[in-house]
Structure 1
Amino acid sequence: MSVDIGKLATILRDAAKAEVLPRFRRLDAGMVKIKTSAIDLVTEADEAAERFIKARVAELAPDALFVGEESVAADPALLDALAHADLAVVVDPIDGTANYAAGLPLFAVMASVVSKGETIAGIIYDPMGDDWMMAEKGSGAWLRRPDGEAVRMQIAEPLPLAEMVGCCSVAFMPVESRPQVLANFAKLRVVSNYRVAGHEYRTFVSGHAQFLCYNKLMPWDHLAGTLMAQEAGGYAARLDGSPYLPHHVDGGLIIATDKDSWQQLRREVFTY
């Protein structure tokens, strides 16, 4: 069993054009809800886009388990099913919902394909730029545009710690560890947080950053991007050095240009 990645990419684009972009900067208060906290939002567009994608994926791959961010919010058991599924499609209908709800044009629509516990494909669609980052295991990472143009992605060269640029969210790190990690940021050149993992992965895969770091590992946020980072030449592992797998939801994740940089970042910066 497999999924046609080109067709899945088109589904994400169609969902964005039908459900996401028409609502952008047109949300009233009743269209935005708080899920678990003030920084965890869901909008009418998230829900509508996921329904759209789910219906189209059911036609494209009727035997695939569908794991969407909003579907899991309603049925957490879907996460357990992901670990054992022969084939699954994991979807984030709007990555960067806080940006989207605030009217900031930095959000993405993402999907990954998982087969027997392994990520085999990933797609990050940018509705504002109208292009995709795509990867299939063993085939590299690519920037693809609707006119058929394709450009192979390659990560940046390693740099000394003091010259590294990267992205990190401390929001889900242990509270007691945050002061030390924030102090350690002074050892680096630039640390950003775009509040949208999809664009942070795009930044890394296209060679504009040397590292990424996350603590909370929901599959719709990180499976596609981690595969792309690896296919573009990067090194990824959880904080204990183990591989990041589709069923993991915690344990932290560092993505770097190479293993030596990963080890230095873990030792010198991400010490929690």
Structure 2
Amino acid sequence: MTFSDADFDYVMTIVAEAASKEIMLRFRNLDAGDISEKTSAIDLVTEADLRAERHITAALKTRFPKAVIVGEEAYEADKSVVPALAHAELAFTIDPVDGTFNFAAGLPVFGTIVAVIANGETIASIIHDPVLGDTLTAMKGGGTFLRRQTGQARRLAVAAPASLKAMTGAISWGHMDEPERSRICGNLSKTRMAFSLNCSAYEYWMVASGKWHFIGHSKLMPWDHLAGVLAHQEAGGYTAKFDGTPYRPGETTGGIISAPDEESWRMIRREIIGA
């Protein structure tokens, strides 16, 4: 099963359609009944999540009927689909509204993420900003590009390596337990500035475009990270799990760090993540 440039354009189109028809119509226009908690008050699902995922899933099934499709919301009904990503001939992961807490609060910091996986390797990624209409795209071996709604495109590159005290970035400590949570929060004071966006789409956007030096996560759900890791790598960056091994489709544990290069990765691992 192949995945062509025309296929990639098709996926970009259906992601933009879902953003326009299902997400933006509901942004800052949700009723209380349109928002539900999943695991906590900061882990939400809205009608926009559900409808956008259904829209994208249906379109993917039409064009790729044999592909494995793993949507964040559908995963709640069948968790066996994530391990299948490691072996499927062709697969897709979908995060319809990444940053749902922000979306539900009316903050314009959220995105739609789709990754394309073939035979256990991420080969393409799309991170779409529904508010601006811009899209971050990457193809394996083809670089990472920012594609404006107007049609303009430019190639992206990660930030140059810097000293720790000059670095900016984010480590998503909110999903960590003690003592890691407090240790990492304290260690982030060694950097120039640390951020918290609660949105993987924008975090990968920032690090792949060189606006930040690093990001890190302990929770590794594939719809949050496969697309972003490819975009970061194709922009020249280095990503590995906390133990130094590569992050692969189907994995959900171990934590990852994305940095400008391997030496920077080792510094973040040593000075920020720590023992």
- What TM-score, normalized by structure 1, do the two folds share? 0.98
CA distance in 1, matches of 2:187, 2:78: 39
Amino acid at match of 2:44: L
CA distance in 1, matches of 2:249, 2:177: 22
Q: Aligned-pair distance for 1:227?
A: 0.3
Unaligned runs of at least 5 residues, structure 2 = none
Match of 1:58 in 2: 61
Q: Are residue 174 (structure 1) and residue 191 (structure 2) matched?
A: no
Q: Aligned-pair distance for 1:248?
A: 1.0
Match of 1:14 in 2: 17
Asked if 1 retains the 8 angstrom alpha-carbon contact of 2:113 and 2:223, the reply is yes
Q: Are residue 199 (structure 1) and residue 237 (structure 2) matched?
A: no
Match of 1:148 in 2: 151
Amino acid at match of 1:222: H
CA distance in 1, matches of 2:165, 2:247: 27
Q: Aligned-pair distance for 1:145?
A: 2.4
Deviations 1:158-201 (A, max 9, x none): 11001000012101223221121111111111110111110111
Q: Aligned-pair distance for 1:56?
A: 0.6
Match of 2:47 in 1: 44
SS in 1 for 2:82: helix
Asked if 1 retains the 8 angstrom alpha-carbon contact of 2:83 and 2:251, the reply is no
Q: Are residue 243 (structure 1) and residue 241 (structure 2) matched?
A: no
Q: Aligned-pair distance for 1:44?
A: 0.8
Q: Are residue 114 (structure 1) and residue 121 (structure 2) matched?
A: no
1:257-272 equivalences in 2 (<5 Å): 257-272=260-275
Q: Are residue 212 (structure 1) and residue 200 (structure 2) matched?
A: no
Amino acid at match of 2:24: L
Match of 1:84 in 2: 87
CA distance in 1, matches of 2:91, 2:167: 36
Deviations 1:37-74 (A, max 9, x none): 11111001100011100111112212211110011011
Deviations 1:224-260 (A, max 9, x none): 0100000000000000000000111110000000111
Asked if 1 retains the 8 angstrom alpha-carbon contact of 2:143 and 2:155, the reply is yes
Amino acid at match of 1:258: D
Q: Aligned-pair distance for 1:113?
A: 0.3
Amino acid at match of 1:2: T
CA distance in 2, matches of 1:223, 1:85: 15
Aligned residues: 272
SS in 2 for 1:269: helix
Report the RMSD for the aligned CA atoms in angstroms.
1.0
Amino acid at match of 1:126: D
Among 222, 226, 240, the residue aligned to 2:225: 222
Match of 2:2 in 1: 2
SS in 1 for 2:76: helix
Match of 1:157 in 2: 160
CA distance in 2, matches of 1:51, 1:177: 37
Match of 2:128 in 1: 125
Deviations 1:91-132 (A, max 9, x none): 000000000011111110110001111101100000111111
SS in 1 for 2:122: strand
- What TM-score, normalized by structure 2, do the two folds share? 0.97
Amino acid at match of 1:110: I
CA distance in 1, matches of 2:105, 2:84: 34
CA distance in 2, matches of 1:66, 1:186: 40
